Amino acid sequence: MKLRNILSVFCFLAAMASCSMEDDTMMNDASKEFEASVNADKEAYVAVQMDLNGLATKSVAVGDPSTDNTADQEINNLALFLLDGNNVIDRAFFAKGQFTRDEDGTLKTNGEVFGFLTKKKNTLGLIAVANTEEAILSKTTRNQIATYAAVLDNCSKYKDIPTFGWFEKDGITPYPGYEKIKGDDGVLAQNPAYVKVVLKQSYARVELASFNVVRNSDYEKTIDVTLTGVELVNLNKKGQVDGELAGTNLDKTSWDFQNSFPACSTADVDCATYPGKNILNGENIFFRTFAYNYKQAASTNRLCLKLTYTVGAKTHTKEIIIQGKEDSLLAVEAGYIYRVNLTATLRPEQVDLDVIFSIDKWIDGGVLVDGELTNK
């Protein structure tokens, strides 16, 4: 066969393949458009399964009773938003006591499954915010909600699902949508679609988990060791929008011991052997901060715990830069608890302060030590 004929055959086959691919693409697009148009005429009732496991913590606090350690787990109110794209199309707000959860997390009001009545569309999303103000209902876009919800003192919890799939309660069976989902009496005549919402902490927590005092074998003095101040410096009071850091608003806060400072005497028998006497008595001091990456920040703007303690009449201070999950990572992330454990070793010539970091992942109770996740 001549070269010209061979080339002609190849060109013909390529053209046929191109047409076939274009036809397939057009058919797929047409199928999606047809499916969307059919679903747009169907009603759906969007119910919520609320997973609160990400709020658990094993921490216990000491000292300031106005700093409620249980606030990290408390749900004082709940705001829900149904969105089409980035715009709110429906909303609801529940004060504490106005909603309940079944064992599987299904949200109920007045004993009935709560949900949003809507058209079955593939562009719908859901936002849940706990511990906010009812005025959040006036917000009409995704960014407005996220910005308003970012109030550190509220101990807010947050979850944004940009788009959700349509499934029955088992999470497997596709949800078809219905011509009419409620009967003439207003009662649901069809099953709802279910969206699982894993509510998470919108902030990180930094803790002083222990302060151990141990005397070296050649240290013979009987002297008091007292922790007189703990301060979190350069905490970030500005939250996140759409997963991107909205900026920083650095501040500092001090723990209020209410004139009852943790202390011990080196004569205490527990101070004679390692790990020594924990003057926090197994409890801990904690602070909250929004996510903050300070690797490139000036040293004066890095997140740190500042401690003041006395050994006898002499006052010591120590600043501890909070370490992240990886070596040289100077950052804290929402949903993690950054724990600092200290051991003060008293020697005749000086006091050595050893620091051990551990990081708990709030959502599953696991603990990160040296960057490795293990379960407690």
pLDDT for residue 61: 38
- Indicate whether 368 pLDDT > 90: no
Asked which of 147, 174, 201 is the last residue of a domain, the reply is 201
Predicted confidence (pLDDT) at residue 163 exceeds the cutoff of 80: yes
Do 216 and 359 reside in the same domain of the chain? yes
Same domain, 169 and 217: no
Give counts: helices (H), strands (E), the chain. 2, 27
User: Do 266 and 316 lie in a common domain?
Assistant: yes
Q: What is the pLDDT of residue 361?
A: 73
What are the pLDDT digits (tens) for 36-45? Answer: 555 567 999 9
User: Which pLDDT belongs to residue 72?
Assistant: 78
Report pLDDT for 282: 77
149 touches 132 (CB < 8 A): yes
pLDDT 10s digits, 212-231: 999 998 998 899 999 999 99
How many domains, the chain?
Answer: 2
Residue 126 near residue 80, CB atoms below 8 Å: yes
188 and 222 in a single domain? The answer is no
Q: Are residues 197 and 292 both part of a single domain?
A: no
pLDDT, residue 269, reads 95
Residues 192 and 74 in one domain: yes
Q: 132 with 234, same domain?
A: no
Domain-ending residue, one of 179, 201, 223: 201
CATH code assigned at 162: 2.60.40
Mean pLDDT value across the chain = 83
Please, are residues 211 and 293 in contact by the beta-carbon 8 Å criterion?
no
Domain of residue 338: give its range.
Answer: 204-375
List the structure tokens of 237.
């009071």
Residue 94: its pLDDT value, please? 96
The reply to whether 70 and 126 lie within a common domain is: yes
- Judge whether residue 365 has pLDDT over 50: no
The pTM assigned to this predicted structure is 0.76
- Among 148, 172, 201, the domain-final residue is 201
Pair type for strands 112-113 and 107-109: antiparallel
Here the tokens at position 133 are: 């103000």
Tell me whether residue 232 is exposed, middle or buried, using C-beta atoms within 10 angstroms of its C-beta: 0 to 12, 13 to 18, 19 or more: buried
Looking at the structure, do residues 91 and 103 belong to the same domain, yes or no? yes
